[in-house]
Amino acid sequence: MLILEKHIVQSLLDWQTFTAGSGVKANRKSEDIAVISTSNASVLGGMFGLELFESNISLKAKQLPLFLSGRQRLLATARSAVKLLVRALRPATVWLPSYICGVVIDAARETEVRIRFYAVGDSLKIADNHWLAEIQDGDLVIFADYFGFNTWSSHGIEARARGARVVEDACQAMLNRDFSPHSDYIIFSPRKFIGVPDGGILLAGKNTELPDADFPAPPAKWLLQATRASILRSEFDRYGGERSWFKMFQSTEADGPMEPFRMSDLTAAILRIVDWATIKRRRRRNYEFLLSELGELAIFPNLPRHVVPLGFPIRVRNRDRVRRALFNERIYPAVHWEIIDLVPAEFLSSHRLASEIMTLPSDQRYGRDDMKRMVGKLQRYISL
Ligand SMILES: Cc1ncc(COP(=O)(O)O)c(C=O)c1O
């Protein structure tokens, strides 16, 4: 599988729907303990290559992160955690934010379960409170921590007071120090933060029932394809070459199991040894730097101490043109998310946001020089 060509030629169109991160020259030994891919700044963004690690790494984790401790279920995807909850709790209505990943909407669909949306404004805050009055006892309300930021606390309290089960979708906030005390369940998706082929975690709050634990292994074909994409990406990061991993990644993300399957043993093992502290530090450092340079574009212009951001979301009026120009510079901001045809058109602010938002990569693979390069290019293309 080694790929040694140095030059990269690939249609930009292939890169339109990036959803995670990417990097180049992974896993140089550094000051960090283990399992962090770093970049030589050639490619910024895209999926993560499989985390590599030292063969003599201790499997005795010093302190397990919250998402691995407590009462949880380790699943193959986060969408399947939503499906599991909807099936187990049988709510009459699932309330979803008008700005959300399409697979979450799909996962909430079950016969005799109504899906309703509440409005999220262009700055990702909940736009009004009227909908809260329509919540019925036993409904399920999903709130998303967008890019790591909780914008919904008071709504969570109110939803719970009305008898709803509150689900915190922390797929973009997995490394935060704190989560809402008003959540009955929290959902995580580790692939958004590090290089693992699969994974979704359902964490239950105190006194909350957890659905049965006996899940089948994930479909072998899907898992192999997802693992292959991660390995090829990791090799691309080190040696360059083709980008065949990209199409594989796109299709495995789109085909991720909705049915509850258990997390692969590989992912479960990697999650236990990752040097989370360094990852958190680097992500926060990059975000702070981008704030200092691009604060006026930031959707979240402050970084609270407990937040470890997914990336650096900005709004740009000519988003598609700017993004294409960045692709030419091998910088690949993701779009979270395309919601057209998934969310009713009446949620104008969310649709407007979906056409203007992009997420600058600022994860642990990158350092100050990478961020500077990205800022320079962005400033140039935005002003054109
Ligand atoms: C906020 C959010 N929740 C849930 C999911 C689903 O995660 P998974 O791909 O692990 O099913 C996604 C996927 O992009 C997401 O962005």
Q: Note whether 340 and 226 are same-domain residues.
A: yes
pLDDT digit string (tens) for 117-128?
Answer: 999 999 999 989
Q: Note whether 43 and 148 are same-domain residues.
A: no
DSSP 277: H
Q: Note whether 39 and 156 are same-domain residues.
A: no
377: CB partners within 8 A, 6+ apart: 325, 326, 329, 331
Q: List beta partners, residue 142.
A: 167
69: left (phi over 0), alpha (psi -120 to 50) or beta: beta
pLDDT at 213: 80
101 within ligand 1 shell (Cβ under 6 A): yes
Q: Note whether 195 and 338 are same-domain residues.
A: no
pLDDT at 37: 53
DSSP 40: -
SS (H, E, C) 340-353: CCCCCCCCHHHHHH
pLDDT at 56: 63
Q: How close is the Cα of 23 to the center of ligand 1, in Å? A: 21
Structural domain includes residue 141: yes
Q: How close is the Cα of 79 to the center of ligand 1, in Å? A: 6
Q: Note whether 26 and 81 are same-domain residues.
A: no
Structural domain includes residue 260: no
pLDDT at 64: 84
Residue 54 has pLDDT above 90, yes or no: no
Atom of ligand 1 nearest to the CA of 79: 11
Residue 32, CA distances (Å) to 61, 63, 133, 289 in order: 15, 17, 50, 20
The mean of the pLDDT values for the chain is: 89
Residue 183, CA distances (Å) to 79, 154, 246 in order: 17, 12, 35
Residue located nearest, by CA, to atom 14 of ligand 1? 101
When pLDDT is cut at 50, 70 and 90, the band that residue 225 belongs to is very high
- Provide the domain count of the chain: 2
Q: What's 288's domain CATH number?
A: 3.90.1150.10
Q: Note whether 228 and 189 are same-domain residues.
A: no
276: nearest Cα among 43, 6, 51: 51
Residue located nearest, by CA, to atom 1 of ligand 1? 171
Q: Note whether 280 and 149 are same-domain residues.
A: no
pLDDT at 53: 76
Rounded percentage of the chain residues whose pLDDT exceeds 70: 87
Mutate to test the pocket of ligand 1, among 17, 19, 75, 79 (most ligand atoms within 8 A of CB): 79
79 within ligand 1 shell (Cβ under 6 A): yes
At which residue do the structure tokens 């949620």 appear?
347
Residue 164 has pLDDT above 90, yes or no: yes
Rounded percentage of the chain residues whose pLDDT exceeds 90: 82
pLDDT digit string (tens) for 83-113?
Answer: 999 999 999 999 999 999 999 999 999 999 9
Q: What's 83's domain CATH number?
A: 3.40.640.10
Q: Note whether 26 and 111 are same-domain residues.
A: no
Q: Note whether 26 and 124 are same-domain residues.
A: no
pLDDT digit string (tens) for 5-45?
Answer: 233 323 333 333 343 333 333 333 333 444 455 544 489 99
Structural domain includes residue 362: yes
**CA dihedral defined by 275, 279, 280, 283, rounded to 10 degrees?**
180
Give the predicted TM-score (pTM) of the model. Answer: 0.90
pLDDT at 63: 76
Q: CA torsion sign, 129 to 134 to 137 to 138?
A: negative
Residue 304 has pLDDT above 50, yes or no: yes
Radius of gyration of the chain (CA): 20
Q: How close is the Cα of 142 to the center of ligand 1, in Å? A: 12
Q: How close is the Cα of 383 to the center of ligand 1, in Å? A: 33
pLDDT at 212: 83
Structural domain includes residue 178: yes
Which helix H or strand E contains 201, and what residues bound it? strand 200-204
When pLDDT is cut at 50, 70 and 90, the band that residue 70 belongs to is confident
238 within ligand 1 shell (Cβ under 6 A): no
144 within ligand 1 shell (Cβ under 6 A): yes
Q: Note whether 121 and 237 are same-domain residues.
A: no
Mutate to test the pocket of ligand 1, among 82, 99, 152, 171 (most ligand atoms within 8 A of CB): 171
When pLDDT is cut at 50, 70 and 90, the band that residue 62 belongs to is low
Mutate to test the pocket of ligand 1, among 19, 80, 84, 101 (most ligand atoms within 8 A of CB): 101
20 within ligand 1 shell (Cβ under 6 A): no
Strands (E), 15-139: 44-45, 72-75, 93-97, 114-118
pLDDT at 33: 42
Structural domain includes residue 263: no
200 within ligand 1 shell (Cβ under 6 A): yes
State the Cα–Cα distance between residues 332 and 377, nearest whole angstrom: 12
171 within ligand 1 shell (Cβ under 6 A): yes
Q: Note whether 200 and 237 are same-domain residues.
A: no
State the Cα–Cα distance between residues 123 and 191, nearest whole angstrom: 25
Structural domain includes residue 162: yes
Q: Note whether 286 and 347 are same-domain residues.
A: yes
Residue 129 has pLDDT above 50, yes or no: yes
226 within ligand 1 shell (Cβ under 6 A): no
pLDDT digit string (tens) for 197-216?
Answer: 999 999 999 889 998 889 99
Task: Please say whether the beta carbons of 267 and 223 come within 8 A.
Answer: no
Structural domain includes residue 59: no
- The domain of 133 spans 66-204
Q: How close is the Cα of 56 to the center of ligand 1, in Å? A: 33
Identify the residue with better confidence: 20 or 160. 160
pLDDT at 52: 84
